[in-house]
Amino acid sequence: MSYRDLRDWISALESAGELKRIRTAVDPILEVTEIADRTSKAGRKGSLPNLTPGGPALLFENLTGHPGSRLLINQFGSERRMKMGLGVDALDDIAERIRELLNMKSPEGFMGKLKMLPMLADMGKLFPKTVPTGPCKEVIKRTGFSLLDFPILKCWPQDGGRFITLPCVITRDPRSGKRNVGMYRMQVYDERTTGMHWQRQKVAAEHYRERLRMGAAQAAAGARGAAVDIMARSSGGSMLAEGNRPGGKMEVAVAIGTDPALTFSAIVPAPPEVEEFIIAGFLRQQPVELVKCETVDLEVPANAEIVLEGYVQLDELRPEGPFGDHTGFYTLQDDYPVFHITCITHRKDPIYATTIVGKPPMEDGWMGKAVERIFLPMMRLTIPEIVDVNLPVEGIFHNLMLVSIRKSYPGQARKVMHAIWSLGQAMFTKCIVVVDEDVNVQDIAEVTLKALNHIDPERDIQFTLGPIDSLDHASRLPNYGSKMGIDATRKWSTEGFQRPWPDEITMDPAVKAIVDKKWKNLGID
């Protein structure tokens, strides 16, 4: 099942018993975070044991200082809701669809091509389509607007201010024209400006750098010949648009409160050449409807609750943070671009969608687990010997990856480590543990037992230097540090291991069958 918009999704959550309406007065300054944090940790030892793991989605309807406003949080905060949001019975169902897509072979002969036409036609139906207008245009504010009208959270006590935490930030590649939808936190500075937390390895940050390069190239060209510049001006404009010149602007749009598939698509580590609107269409099995913005040349989801339009000034940076992050620690203050809002459009009585991050488990952990399952086929496309992977929630995505492989030659575990470090956002993985295919990487206890039994630390642990996540506060330098790989596979003689490798302790199957038949009579349980 797919959902047309956030309201359709909220109705489905309520019908399924997955939503709790909060009518008690609650302050978006810290109080919402404390309530959501306790809820998201439901089911853990000593924390709301009567709730299912992750607790329900919460719809706050009485927010201090924001009469009439509504706020949705923890919408993805359980495995069941993650599957509901993506319209599947199991997250691996989407992985299977991706696998089938990747396994499509070039058709042979005329009949083979004919058989592929229906599949290609179905894929074409999933591409985004532009419509004349949509619910996000019910209210259009070019003047007199304020971000402070929305119940934006201050999440943690030492945060630098209020933060927009679940935005779909839309930018365009200045060279290819392809759109990108990413999720980057936005610190609210005042009624019309925010920070734009574009970590340097993110796609939007590359769009920003490309604008700067193009502006620098134009400035250099201008310095080489004033006559060229004069000719360009006399023909009706400069050689490049204003947004590409030094000190120019980069247009940005932000959608808040979209359907679950589109919101989720903003966090997936897709290749830069694949638009997230297409990924959302693939996940929801119907195209995303887009409308043109009012003040910038970008398209936004027609059914979004709130849309912020504006620009980033290319020569402007401002301190952003601190921010209580998913690492469980505060990300310290640093300089980031500034987003200037030129227009706000929204639905009547908009619902503000948000999330919080902090010490796991939290809502983002379930989203990360979905990314892990869905993109396993993409990893296997490059590293076919991978059997399974696990990113434990306590490893906060980038600190630990457990990998099982089908080992067929010496040194293969080390090859896999380096291959993972070459894959997009996986390059940030601080620790990789590689085990044999018979180890269930989803069972942390089994991995711990097997890995620690199988390694000789000096022989099997290797270190390398490279890019590190910007949120890593322990690295020797910002964005640069060391990573560790552990080869916990069985060692072969061709890897220099000459001792016999012992068998694992297992009971004789015949004895197990005999005891199975006697078990009830034993009275043990």
Sorted by sequence, the CB contacts under 8 Å of residue 148 that are 6+ apart come out as 188, 191
Q: Give the residue from 139, 519, 75 showing the smallest Cα distance to 345.
A: 139
Burial class (CB in 10 A: 0-12, 13-18, 19+), 414: middle
Which stretches of 343-443 are DSSP H helices? 363-374, 376-382, 412-421
* Alpha carbon distance 194, 314 (integer Å): 14
Q: Token pair of 291, please? A: 């409308």
Q: Give the residue from 509, 85, 90, 135 showing the smallest Cα distance to 289.
A: 135
Helix axes 363-374, 91-102, angle to 10 degrees: 30
* Alpha carbon distance 72, 79 (integer Å): 18
Angle at 420 between CA 419 and CA 425, to 5 degrees: 130
* Alpha carbon distance 198, 193 (integer Å): 15
**Is 325 annotated in the active site?**
yes
Task: For residue 436, list its beta bridge partners.
Answer: 405
Task: For residue 482, list its beta bridge partners.
Answer: 465
Residue 283 belongs to what H/E stretch?
Answer: helix 276-284
Query: How many other CB atoms are found less than 10 A from the CB of residue 458?
Result: 6
| Phi-psi domain of 129 (left: phi exceeds 0; alpha: psi -120 through 50; beta: other) | beta
Query: Own/partner pairs for 447-455, CB < 8 Å, 24+ apart?
Result: 447/390, 447/402, 450/488, 451/486, 451/488, 452/488, 454/488, 454/489, 454/490, 454/491, 455/486, 455/487, 455/488
Q: Token pair of 102, please? A: 């990747």
Tell me which of 325, 364, 388, 472 is the catalytic residue.
Answer: 325
3-state SS of 171-198 is EECCCCCCEEEECCCEEECCCCEEECCC
Helices (H) and strands (E) in the chain, counts: 15, 23
Residue 360's alpha-carbon distances to 30, 58, 253, in angstroms, are 18, 18, 30
The conformation of residue 329, written as its DSSP 8-state character, comes to S
- Asked if 222 and 212 count as a contact pair (C-beta separation under 8 A), the reply is no
Q: Which residues are catalytic?
A: 325
